[in-house]
């Protein structure tokens, strides 16, 4: 359990405030070393890289960042190039934009750039992701599933992620898109995995000791399946609703935290890190 996390992550539930108080993005900048640090924005997830890249350049510039490198890696040839890998290696922080998480994994997976990302992450360089960029943080990620519906079997599509954090499934736009049912399915299928649902304009700041703080205007839902006493998920036909008993769900607003390895909520006055 000691190797669940090897570095520093900021995992954002999407739709972060870009033009107001920008609390989440200010934390991202702080993690990277402040406005003087060089932030790398990877637009691999989106099919509109110029538009999205320009927006984040404007956003980070407004927040005082002096050096912003927008990098559009949109092919495996790009991801395997020495020039791209070298650029990533020099970043003080890497920010994954939203879009389609399968674009990130299918383009970066197994490439020189992916290896550099893991290397700098293990050295403590912050890795930040919003929306699709949040889903890819874990070893296994959600790629599709019905929102705003009951927890039904086979409504969830899973795929390998980038592997910055183990033994969790991350879902984003959580409350706003009604994704509790699909995350419950993910946890029911493997109760040893922790389900973490992150609301919009909300994030979890994950530390190397496998604990996190909640930062933002909404909340984070943590589903712990270890306490489940009964589940019929293995017996169901497609689209049938699951039965679960004694599943543990925590609702954590900003200021609260959670210890992933200990499976324990950390209240604001307990929220200290080594």
Mean pLDDT, each 10-residue run in order, the chain (274 residues): 80 98 98 97 98 98 98 98 98 98 98 98 97 97 88 86 96 96 94 97 96 98 97 91 96 97 92 56
3-state DSSP assignment of residue 52: helix
- Dump strand ranges (E) for the chain: 9-12, 38-42, 67-71, 93-96, 127-130, 140-145, 156-160, 168-172, 194-198, 202-206, 211-216, 219-224, 230-231, 244-245, 248-253, 257-259, 264-266
Return the active site residues: 131, 173, 200
Beta-strand relationship, 140-145 and 127-130: unpaired
Q: Which domain holds residue 170?
A: 9-256
The pLDDT of residue 44 is 98
Domain annotation covers residue 271 = no
Q: How many domains does the chain have?
A: 1
203 near 216, Cβ under 8 Å? yes
Domain annotation covers residue 130 = yes
How does 232-241 read in b/e, with b if 16+ C-beta sit within 10 Å? ebeebeeeee
Domain annotation covers residue 4 = no
Domain annotation covers residue 176 = yes
**Which CA distances in Å does 117 have to 137, 170, 224?**
11, 19, 29
The pLDDT of residue 1 is 41
Q: What is the DSSP string of 154-192?
A: T-EEEEE---SB-SEEEEESTTTTT-HHHHHHHHHH-TT
The pLDDT of residue 147 is 87
CATH of the domain at 150: 3.40.50.880
Q: From CA 74, how far away is CA 226, in angstroms rounded?
A: 39
194-231: pLDDT as tens digits: 999 999 999 999 999 999 999 999 999 999 999 999 99
The pLDDT of residue 272 is 59
3-state DSSP assignment of residue 216: strand
Domain annotation covers residue 96 = yes
Q: For residue 112, which phi and psi values (nearest 5 degrees)?
A: -60, -40
The pLDDT of residue 238 is 86
How much is the pTM? 0.96
Beta-bridged to residue 265, according to DSSP, are: 258
3-state DSSP assignment of residue 27: helix
Domain annotation covers residue 243 = yes
Domain annotation covers residue 263 = no
Domain annotation covers residue 117 = yes
198 near 170, Cβ under 8 Å? yes
């Amino acid at each position: 359990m000691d190797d669940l996390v090897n570095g520093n992550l900021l995992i954002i539930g999407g739709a972060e405030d870009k033009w107001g108080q920008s609390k989440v993005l200010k934390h991202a900048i702080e993690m990277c070393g402040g406005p003087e640090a060089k932030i790398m924005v990877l637009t691999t997830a989106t099919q509109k890289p110029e538009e999205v890249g320009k927006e984040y350049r404007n956003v980070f510039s407004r927040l005082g960042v002096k050096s912003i490198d927008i990098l559009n890696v949109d092919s495996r040839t790009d991801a395997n190039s020495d020039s791209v890998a070298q650029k990533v290696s020099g970043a003080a922080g890497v920010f994954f934009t939203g879009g389609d998480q399968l674009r990130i994994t299918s383009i970066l997976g197994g490439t020189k750039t992916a290896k550099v990302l893991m290397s700098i992450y293990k050295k403590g360089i912050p890795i930040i992701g919003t929306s699709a960029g949040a889903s890819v943080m874990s070893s296994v990620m959600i790629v599709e599933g019905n929102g705003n519906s009951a927890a039904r079997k086979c409504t969830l599509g899973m795929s390998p992620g980038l592997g910055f954090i183990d033994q969790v499934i991350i879902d984003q736009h959580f409350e706003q898109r009604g994704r509790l049912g699909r995350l419950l399915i993910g946890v029911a299928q493997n109760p040893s995995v922790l389900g973490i649902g992150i609301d919009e304009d909300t994030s979890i700041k994950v530390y190397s000791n496998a604990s996190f703080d909640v930062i933002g205007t909404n909340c984070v839902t943590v589903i712990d399946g270890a306490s489940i006493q009964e589940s019929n998920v293995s017996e169901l036909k497609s689209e049938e609703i699951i039965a679960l008993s004694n599943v543990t769900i925590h609702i954590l607003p900003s200021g609260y935290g959670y210890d992933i390895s200990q499976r324990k909520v950390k209240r604001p006055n307990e929220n200290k890190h080594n």
